[in-house]
Structure 1
Amino acid sequence: MNTPARTAEPRLTSLSHGGGCGCKIAPGVLADILQGTAATPVPKELLVGIETADDAAVYRLNDEQALVATTDFFMPIVDDPYEFGRIAATNAISDVYAMGGRPIMALALVGMPISVLSTATIARILEGGASVAREAGIPIAGGHTIDSVEAIYGLVALGLVHPKRVKRNADAQPGDVLVLGKPLGVGVMSAALKKDALGDAGYAQMIATTTRLNTPGPELAALDGVHAMTDVTGFGLAGHALEIARGAGCTLHIDWAAVPLLPGVRALAAQGFVTGASARNWAGYGHDVALAADFAAPDRALLTDPQTSGGLLVSCAPGAVDEVLAVFRRHGFDTAAPIGRVEAATPGAPRLVVG
């Protein structure tokens, strides 16, 4: 008796309703969900919790060490299973770096449609994640798997940081300069990719930026002039800048002309290749943003564009800018650039001004 041949597997991105950090629940909806969920009582050892929507939890172990704990997972943003695994793992580990920590190990979170994807394809996803863990110098020491309708992969990432070097997103100071480590445009590129409108060069750029570990984080945290740090992911540059502004009680000003963009993404955005998450982001926090009168629609789409495995956003003293840029350059982040400043908040004024 002949065994029926297995039908060709579908594209990974066809199995998900949204890919990468574009899967995030919209910021306004998330705020409603999290109302009243703050843990009580909070132990004094918990240095960072959920109060300012920071990148990871930080728990003080002793005078020299604090544990950084975070998790991140999402549906496919690309069709290549190995690259999907690499992107998801890079994105998850980034939150440890964003707190100033050094990763020590990870656990895998795996949800796969077993009846749709072959074990070989699923194994390639996990191999991609393991390759990034090796690059970060850590093991994937365990995890959990489920049979899921959509393909889901990510990591629980753990790291260590000196308690005095923890970099929260809420410690920016008036007078600080904002420095962005990676160019924007991953969400726009992913939208174009799903519609077969992203060329080979654009795809290569997208893979390169989303699989680059934010290794400058610990070195930046060691600089006295660095006051706050976060990474730009699913809520876009505007959303994560607002988290800094709200946490610090300040107003952030972004010079849009100085913001680095991935090659070709503004033209793609102008052609309509934008994610639904971009519009949801704006609906959730646009009331707190003041845009220049001539700010174009494609630029607003990029300002709110969900960044999968995006760059570090650093708030530092003006005198530390050269040091910050030098650290980024040493780690290969050649497009890192100053993009704005932090000012004291004015009552009733927007928290974020972009022009």
Structure 2
Amino acid sequence: MDLHHIKLTQYSHGAGCGCKISPAILDKILHSDLPAAIDTRLLVGNDKRDDAAVLDLGNGTGLISTTDFFMPIVDDAYDFGRIASANAISDVYAMGGKPVLAIAILGWPIDKLPAEVAQKVLEGARAICAEAGITLAGGHSIDCPEPVFGLSVNGIIDIRQLKQNSTATAGCRLYLTKALGVGILSTAQKKGLLKSEDAAVALKSMTTLNKLGEIFGGLDSVKAMTDVTGFGLLGHLAEMCEGSGLSAVVEFDKVPVISSVPYYLEHNCYPGGTQRNWNSYGQKVNTLTEQQRFILADPQTSGGLLIAVAQEGVSEFERILKEQGLSGDYLTPFGWLETKKRNDVITVI
């Protein structure tokens, strides 16, 4: 088999974070009538819809623990390893933490794809781990009907700097550090419609580490933070609102979006995960146009950070964004949080 002609996306029914189980079904899976075990050291656990678990080590430091894995969203094995690894490590950054160690999770159809292709996936993972300053220290692999890859990642955090998705306050401004649309572009790729320049844009977005999260962990003005992945911007924003007891207003024209997205929507390129997302939480959002729905509920793979910043800290926060190389739409908020006073959790204007 010619390794250069293998297209990984043809060996899986899903792609990237679009593989995630919908929020509605996840609610059923996580529901239990059994009493939850109480661990006083567990600062963040399964009772919260956050990015990672956090354990108090008793010395002012928290241990962040997370895992994430999915099926290929690109055809190239090396790039698949990079994307899956950046996505998994992001959960540590989303808590404001510093990643320290990674373990690989590999499922491989050994009767369909050569071991050499899996080797390329691991090489991509090692490259991203090195960029994050951590070691890929081991892992576990199984024979699997479809290719699956991801990481289990540990990080550390000064507990005073821990960021959660449920601690936002009314008046916070909302920021997003990566443009939306990679789910739409990945669907265009599977249909053979993706232009090479747009493939490069999507790849750069998905392989860029959310290192900014570690910086934001040190800012008291950052009241809540999460990363935007398979549930789309609206899904993760809804979790932030409900966890914090607030509502959100989103100014659609100010949301960062990959510029070519409208072109691909005209060609009916949107992932099935978009509709599953909307079916799960659409009742929490006011009436949207079809284009708004396809963009705001688009499943993101290795998406950006969604950050709620107190008004008094906006100037400092935007200065840091600029110093870190962000520009344009990223330097201004796309919405705000307010006291819950209506039926809709999120209003898009």
TM range (shorter): over 0.9
Tell me the CA shift for residue 7 of structure 1. Answer: 9.8
* 2:322 aligned partner: 329
1:343 lines up with 2:338 in the alignment: yes
* 1:78 aligned partner: 74
- Residues 142 and 177 (structure 1), Cα distance of their counterparts in 2 relative to 1, 3 Å cut: same
Give the match's secondary structure for 2:100: strand
* 1:311 aligned partner: 304
- Residues 354 and 38 (structure 1), Cα distance of their counterparts in 2 relative to 1, 3 Å cut: farther
| Aligned counterparts, 1:1-20, within 5 A | 10-20=6-16
- Residues 39 and 143 (structure 1), Cα distance of their counterparts in 2 relative to 1, 3 Å cut: farther
For 2:223, the aligned partner's letter is H
Tell me the CA shift for residue 297 of structure 1. Answer: 0.8
* 2:217 aligned partner: 221
State the Cα deviation string for residues 244-296 of structure 1 (Å, max 9, x = none): 001001001111110011120122123210000000000011011113xxx42
* 1:67 aligned partner: 63
1:92 lines up with 2:88 in the alignment: yes
For 1:142, the aligned partner's letter is G
- Residues 154 and 116 (structure 1), Cα distance of their counterparts in 2 relative to 1, 3 Å cut: same
| Aligned counterparts, 1:269-288, within 5 A | 269-288=265-284
Answer whether contact 2:3 2:117 (CA < 8 A) is retained.
no
* 1:299 aligned partner: 292
Extract unaligned runs of 5+ from structure 2.
none
For 2:194, the aligned partner's letter is L
Q: Distance in 2 between matches of 1:8 and 1:248?
A: 48
Answer whether contact 1:48 1:58 (CA < 8 A) is retained.
yes
Q: Distance in 2 between matches of 1:140 and 1:331?
A: 26
Give the match's secondary structure for 1:117: coil
Match of 1:27 among 23, 27, 47: 23
Answer whether contact 1:182 1:333 (CA < 8 A) is retained.
no
Tell me the CA shift for residue 37 of structure 1. Answer: 7.4
Identify which range, 111-120 or 151-160, moves more after superposition. Answer: 111-120
Answer whether contact 1:9 1:117 (CA < 8 A) is retained.
no
Answer whether contact 2:6 2:75 (CA < 8 A) is retained.
no
Tell me the CA shift for residue 9 of structure 1. Answer: 6.4
Tell me the CA shift for residue 302 of structure 1. Answer: 0.6
State the Cα deviation string for residues 80-109 of structure 1 (Å, max 9, x = none): 000000000000000000000000010000
Tell me the CA shift for residue 152 of structure 1. Answer: 0.3
Q: Distance in 1 between matches of 2:33 and 2:315?
A: 41
Provide the TM-score with structure 2 as the length reference.
0.96
State the Cα deviation string for residues 56-93 of structure 1 (Å, max 9, x = none): 00111023210000000000000000000000000000
Q: Distance in 2 between matches of 1:147 and 1:115?
A: 9
Q: Distance in 2 between matches of 1:251 and 1:25?
A: 25
Identify which range, 29-38 or 73-82, moves more after superposition. Answer: 29-38
Q: Distance in 1 between matches of 2:3 and 2:179?
A: 39
| Aligned counterparts, 1:75-154, within 5 A | 75-154=71-150
For 1:172, the aligned partner's letter is A
Tell me the CA shift for residue 127 of structure 1. Answer: 0.3
| Aligned counterparts, 1:35-50, within 5 A | 35-36=31-32, 40-50=36-46
- Residues 108 and 58 (structure 1), Cα distance of their counterparts in 2 relative to 1, 3 Å cut: same
Q: Distance in 2 between matches of 1:279 and 1:232?
A: 17
Extract unaligned runs of 5+ from structure 1.
none
Answer whether contact 1:20 1:308 (CA < 8 A) is retained.
yes
1:354 lines up with 2:348 in the alignment: yes
Give the match's secondary structure for 2:333: strand
1:188 lines up with 2:184 in the alignment: yes
For 2:308, the aligned partner's letter is S
Give the match's secondary structure for 2:179: coil
Answer whether contact 1:9 1:116 (CA < 8 A) is retained.
no
* 1:172 aligned partner: 168
State the Cα deviation string for residues 190-219 of structure 1 (Å, max 9, x = none): 000101111111000000000000001111
* 2:250 aligned partner: 254
For 1:320, the aligned partner's letter is G
Q: Distance in 2 between matches of 1:236 and 1:39?
A: 31
Q: Distance in 1 between matches of 2:163 and 2:260?
A: 33
Q: Distance in 1 between matches of 2:176 and 2:153?
A: 23
Tell me the CA shift for residue 332 of structure 1. Answer: 3.1
- Residues 38 and 181 (structure 1), Cα distance of their counterparts in 2 relative to 1, 3 Å cut: farther
* Superposed CA RMSD: 1.6
Q: Distance in 2 between matches of 1:195 and 1:340?
A: 34
For 1:345, the aligned partner's letter is K
Q: Distance in 2 between matches of 1:66 and 1:110?
A: 28
Identify which range, 264-273 or 125-134, moves more after superposition. Answer: 264-273
Q: Distance in 2 between matches of 1:181 and 1:6?
A: 38
Q: Distance in 1 between matches of 2:2 and 2:129?
A: 32
State the Cα deviation string for residues 137-188 of structure 1 (Å, max 9, x = none): 0001111000101000000011000111110100010011111111000100
Give the match's secondary structure for 1:77: coil
